[in-house]
Each structure stands twice: as structure tokens, then as C-alpha cells.
Amino acid sequence: MPAPLLTRIDHVGIACRDLDATVALYESTFGLTVVARETHEDQGVREAMLVVAEGRDSPSALGGSYVQLLEPLRDDSPVGKFLARNGEGVHHIGYGVADVGAALAAIGATGVRLVDERPRHGSMGASIAFLHPKDLGGVLTELVQAPPDR
Ligand code: CMX
Ligand code: CO
């Protein structure tokens, strides 16, 4: 059997209407800490990453695990459209991969539609790509290759 493409759960992406209020909720309920706040114009979101577990020092488990809270910058964006349709809640799952380009090629060859044909820049210096929810049981799925330092 070849090694699995997915090495860990990198993050759970959660759509919210009010980022600051939702960060406060996660801090006060779970004691989590924000480790990055970023705005991604191309994705139409502003976001906060809260760390759940630090990365381990092993190549297959490289990278930590996080909660990614997402607030849309505009209604006509993936998270804006999702909120209008579903309300607040889980938007996507991000899995760790060792090599996002190689994973995309292997997954594309199975017939699953790729939202991103090639990797792009994601949160905290990661290289990411999305897979289409309609081919994965209704789950928008993100592949995350963490940078070498996390
Ligand atoms: N989870 C499950 N299904 C979803 C979904 C999601 N997050 N988003 C959309 N869908 C479904 C819709 O329900 C809809 O289903 P039906 O056809 O059965 O009605 C279908 O997909 C199309 O929905 P849409 O609102 O018209 O959306 P688009 O086709 O314009 O876009 C997608 C869908 C997946 C290509 C788009 O959301 C996308 O490019 N996502 C990746 C980028 C992203 O989500 N960025 C924000 C997060 C950034 C980060 O994590 O760093
Ligand atoms: Co994500």
C-alpha cells in the first residue's frame, strides 16, 4: 500500500459573521490562543487561526492543528455565499499533506474535481489547494503543506 496522502488534520475552517466575537467565544470557552490574524483579499476573507496543538518534529506530522475562524469581506465570496445559504458553521476541513503539488496530481487522477489546479499561498505561509465538495461527500476539502518552520 502506498503511504496515505493525508498526514494529519491541519485545521477546521468555521464560517462566522463576526470574527472578533467568535474569537472571543473560542478563547473564553476553550482557552485557545490566536496565533495569526490575516486578510486574504483573493479569498474574500479575514481570519484568525487559533492553535489547538503545536506541530511535532516529525516529517510526516509536520505542522500543528488549528481552528480557522473565517469572516467574509463581501457577500459574493465563498464564505459570504456559504453564510447566506447555511448560516454559521463548519465550512471546510484542512488536511496536512507532505507535498501539495504531488497530492493534487494524485487526487486529480482519481477524478475528484480540483478547485485549484495548482497550489496557492494560504494562511501562515502554507501552500494550499482546495478540492470540490461535490465530489467529496459534500465536504469542501483543503490540502495544506505547512512551511518547514511549523
Ligand atoms: N461546503 C460544502 N458544500 C459547499 C460549500 C462548502 N463550503 N460551498 C459551496 N458548496 C456547495 C453549495 O451548497 C452548492 O451546492 P448545490 O449545487 O447542491 O446547491 C455548490 O457547492 C455550489 O455552491 P456556490 O455557492 O454556487 O459556490 P461556487 O460554485 O461559486 O463555489 C467552491 C464553490 C467550492 C468552488 C468555492 O466555495 C471555492 O472556491 N472554495 C475554495 C476557496 C475558499 O473556500 N476560500 C475561503 C477559505 C480560505 C482558507 O481556508 O484559507
Ligand atoms: Co482553510
| Structure confidence by residue, pLDDT tens digits, 75-93 | 999 999 999 999 999 999 9
Closest approach atom of ligand 1 to CA 142: 50
Q: Is 71 in the pocket of ligand 1 (CB under 6 A)?
A: no
Ligand that lies nearest to the alpha carbon of residue 43, given by its number in the listed order: 1
140: CA distance to ligand 2 center in Å? 10
Tell me, yes or no, if the pTM score tops 0.75: yes
Q: Is 79 in the pocket of ligand 1 (CB under 6 A)?
A: yes
The sign one gets for the Cα dihedral 72, 90, 34, 121 is negative
- Are the beta carbons of 83 and 15 closer than 8 angstroms? yes
What is the distance between the alpha carbons of residues 135 and 10, in angstroms, rounded to a whole number? 21
2: CA distance to ligand 1 center in Å? 30
Long-range pairs, 36-43, Cβ under 8 A, ≥24: 36/123, 36/124, 38/123, 38/124, 39/73, 40/123, 41/73, 42/120, 43/77, 43/78, 43/79
Strand 8-15 to 65-72 pairing: parallel
Q: Is 92 in the pocket of ligand 1 (CB under 6 A)?
A: yes
The percent of residues in the chain predicted with pLDDT above 70, rounded, is 94
Q: Is 137 in the pocket of ligand 1 (CB under 6 A)?
A: no
Measuring from atom 47 of ligand 1, which residue has the nearest CA?
43
Under the banding of pLDDT at 50, 70 and 90, the label for residue 74 is very high
Ligand that lies nearest to the alpha carbon of residue 67, given by its number in the listed order: 2
Q: Sheet holding 45-53: strands in order across?
A: 33-40, 45-53, 65-72, 8-15, 89-96, 141-145, 127-131, 120-121
144: CA distance to ligand 2 center in Å? 8
| Structure confidence by residue, pLDDT tens digits, 53-70 | 987 655 445 689 999 999
What is the distance between the alpha carbons of residues 35 and 66, in angstroms, rounded to a whole number? 9
